[in-house]
Structure 1
């Protein structure tokens, strides 16, 4: 039985008020996102001048804050200068020698315990913990990393011992007001979501997740071919589609008739509503609300070099602003995406990476996997790779930015975009480390950002090596 079939049966049982196991079902919270959009949110109550520095993925494993590299220190001077600096902590960190948990899956990012105080020394005040590497080390890794963040004095959102805490905003008090951070991820590993206790099942440590499903939009001829194949492969568990069906599921892939072929994403209604509820509740408690998501989804299905955001992100970000968010930070792909000013709020669709220098650990089952070649025997050993991963990283991963937004009495007035060069080189001492881009590279990156932002009507002026957006 497929995962989709199992979930369908479980959902049907829940709808009938049944529970698989015998207990009665609990009342489900709202699954209508519009419930949190009907009334306008209160305006930001932040007082005076305030600067918020946004950075991308903090994907690094060993301390750099005290590095003698003068070019790195120029970047850190910017992150330290803000009133609040926010980034995405990708990969968990702890003392591997004393860690009581274990790893899960392939490509497990790990960082030493000193990363907590190191991020603080870089000027980082708040981080999202929700991403596709959050549960590489299970709930134990999340809990230990959260403990170390608390110890370092860094406020974190997007993870917790249960869903309630993972969804809720984390709040930092500053002289200008209270800053709330609501974080989630739409790209995540199996069983990554935090859960509250339910029907006798204990709560589970995890992250705030937004479940999505990809819908392949196809024309009539393409849908007819899918119907033909689905009919040929039909079984009692997967009946043949109706002759007039406009949507067909084949091998867990959904195809829907459309006059605009492409890739569309549906958001789970409960997750969508719960996130807007978290934003609205954050606005009631804080003076400024920041919403972040880690999303590798794209309109092409490929997350690298795809500057256009997927359709669900545009809707989600607009909804988050309408629910009360004052700033949006998108991430996931290590490539940059454009900037939108929506109802006076700054929406950064893709921040890219800030560091790209993580240490990847492997399980024994991964290291000892071997498949035969055409002769039926082990293939000859591959030559050693000079890159951090087989085939190398895309060039676009090494373009980054720091975005500094200046607020006056809660209203965004100026956004400055500082292009970064993360060192696309085989030199491991340089690769993945942020430097301010040289003038030629800065203009290239800013020209890309102008092009990526143009569909949203955003004007980015290039002033020297800095992009500037001025709001009325």
Structure 2
């Protein structure tokens, strides 16, 4: 290393339009981002010329854009991209493979998906003037069928995402547990699972957990819901961090996670916090999270920054050009309906959804420096994405001097013990 490694990171890039020519706001952001050695972004769309088949399920919107939007991602200066998201297989294997091809043709370092689990979980390495940086990427939000599969001795692996699965257990009182057992005995809610165990298609249940359909309950106090990481996924991620730690000066982990605490989207799920701490303990130097399309708090754990969500950098989910019949059928629209018709109905004609949530349209760009693995500085630069504009124009980022964004982030970060100073020029600084 010849000096401290500087890093910046953007949240979700749900990009579906080309950047306007001679956009001064984009030039300002490009200049800012170019100062950092590491310039991370989360790629929230598949990028291809309809080279995939629409999946029967999607991340909400079937996220597809023409590959040339990647040239605009490159214009901003990003050099490290996450691919493990809840949209990665919106267009199944064809869309996944085409996106990977177009991304790598443009020279991005890219992680989180692959032809099999070994590829999807492998670190991506970025060479910088001040040191080598590794990134491992995963997602906790995805359809079960999208999980990348391991290679067999005589069969190929399955393309997909590097998964961060989790278990959910609902803790209830003894009286509630007995009531649930009675429900299970009096109904056929567990009939399929019970028969599968008898016939050997499922292993017998372990421990004192009661399954009720797809939900698991256990007796305990206090009552509530707890989630914890899937043991195999946790182990694989830890081993990849330990491997990368021996091969690079800094190790980053990208986590795409929509899961929340209760019904509060601004609070990360318990398993998200647990795995972030575990991976820092294993050697990760920064955790960069994204997914819920809003900001979440920042934590400094053992001197390493954990960004629980960086919100959006580019958000244009209302200007996709194509949607499969499944989307139209979901909103009771026939084959004569257009994409604009479907988007109108989904948003109740602009009265609900992400488009009317102001938190979706404000975020921050962090800029931090690490030397010999230690955090030495962390600054925060607010951005806004055009909340008041029509849906076909909003979604491009610009620097903002609105102190409300940083005050909001202060409040979100306070439970983690993080102190954010807001400077008169509208930027923020995390006290190290």
Question: For this structure pair, what is the TM-score category when the shorter chain's length is used for normalisation?
Answer: 0.7 to 0.9
SS of equivalent residue, structure 2 residue 236:
helix
SS of equivalent residue, structure 1 residue 336:
coil
TM-score, scaled relative to structure 2: 0.86
How does 1:437-456 map onto structure 2 within 5 Å?
437-439=400-402, 443-456=403-416
For 1:433, the equivalent position in structure 2 comes to 396
Shift of 1:338: 0.7
Is the 8 Å Cα contact of residues 62 and 114 (structure 1) preserved in structure 2? no
For the pair 1:104 / 2:50, whether they are aligned, the reply is no
For 1:348, the equivalent position in structure 2 comes to 307
How far apart are the structure 2 equivalents of 1:233 and 1:265?
27
Q: Which has the higher contact order (CA 8 A, sep 6+)?
A: 1
Shift of 1:369: 5.6
In the alignment, which of 16, 23, 29 is matched to residue 69 of structure 1?
A: 23
For 1:174, the equivalent position in structure 2 comes to 128
SS of equivalent residue, structure 1 residue 266:
strand
Pair 1:363–1:345, CA change in 2 (3 A): same
How does 1:226-241 map onto structure 2 within 5 Å?
226-234=180-188, 237=192
In the alignment, which of 314, 319, 322 is matched to residue 281 of structure 2?
A: 322
How far apart are the structure 1 equivalents of 2:191 and 2:215?
18
- Structure 1 window deviating more from structure 2 (246-255 vs 287-296): it is 246-255
For 2:203, the equivalent position in structure 1 comes to none
Shift of 1:325: 0.6
Shift of 1:290: 0.4
Is the 8 Å Cα contact of residues 47 and 99 (structure 2) preserved in structure 1? yes
Shift of 1:257: 2.6
Unmatched runs of 5 consecutive residues or more in structure 2: 195-206, 334-339
Pair 1:282–1:237, CA change in 2 (3 A): same
Shift of 1:322: 1.1
Deviations for 1:356-401, whole angstroms, at most 9, x for unmatched residues?
11344322244346769xxxxxxxxx98865984533133211211
Shift of 1:326: 0.6
In the alignment, which of 365, 369, 377 is matched to residue 406 of structure 1?
A: 369
How far apart are the structure 2 equivalents of 1:233 and 1:56?
45
TM-score, scaled relative to structure 1: 0.79
Is the 8 Å Cα contact of residues 366 and 381 (structure 2) preserved in structure 1? yes
How far apart are the structure 2 equivalents of 1:383 and 1:370?
10
For 1:127, the equivalent position in structure 2 comes to 81
Report how many aligned residue pairs link the two structures.
403
Pair 1:336–1:53, CA change in 2 (3 A): same
For 1:379, the equivalent position in structure 2 comes to none
SS of equivalent residue, structure 1 residue 275:
helix
For 1:51, the equivalent position in structure 2 comes to 6
Task: State the Cα RMSD in Å.
Answer: 2.5
Is the 8 Å Cα contact of residues 328 and 342 (structure 2) preserved in structure 1? no
Unmatched runs of 5 consecutive residues or more in structure 1: 1-45, 240-244, 373-381
For 1:295, the equivalent position in structure 2 comes to 257
For 1:467, the equivalent position in structure 2 comes to 428
How far apart are the structure 2 equivalents of 1:63 and 1:237?
50
Deviations for 1:214-242, whole angstroms, at most 9, x for unmatched residues?
22233344334323322221565556xxx
Pair 1:229–1:444, CA change in 2 (3 A): same
